[in-house]
Structures are given as C-alpha cells and as structure tokens.
Amino acid sequence: MANNKTTTLTFRIEPSLKEALRSAAHREHRSIANMVEVLIRDYCTKNGINIIETQVPLLEDEHK
C-alpha cells in the first residue's frame, strides 16, 4: 500500500466536520491526511469501488 508518489487534494468543509476529523485522527494516532485516506479506502471497500494501486518501478541499483 505504500505509494512513492502522492497528489494534493484541496477542499473546503465546515469547521465542525474538520474538528471531528481532527478528533478521529488524534484518536487513531494518525495525521489528518492519513485519516482522510483511511476513510476513503474504507468507503470504497464497503461500496465495491476498486482502487487501482500504482507502483513505481525499482531503480536498477535496487535489484542488487
């Protein structure tokens, strides 16, 4: 699951939702960004949405 590349996602939400997200992340010892990722993955799993994982090929030196 460890991807080497990420992308930025910027969105606006109500302050009360942000605080709830912050509380949930704190409770699970996660960053807010990681908590959002976990919630999205959970939603997709529960609703049959396939997540295509991208993998970065290893460099030549890493094969040794």
Phi, psi of 18 (to 5 degrees): -65, -40
Give the pLDDT of residue 26. Answer: 98
Written as six digits, the tokens of 8 are 């930025």
Give me the DSSP letters along 1-64. Answer: ---S----------HHHHHHHHHHHHHTT--HHHHHHHHHHHHHHHTT-------PPPPGGGG-
The pLDDT value given to residue 63: 57
Question: What pLDDT does residue 56 have?
Answer: 65
* Nearest residue to 41 via CA among 19, 12, 15, 30: 30
pLDDT digits (tens), the chain, 64 positions? 555 688 999 999 999 999 999 999 999 999 999 999 999 999 999 999 999 887 766 666 655 5
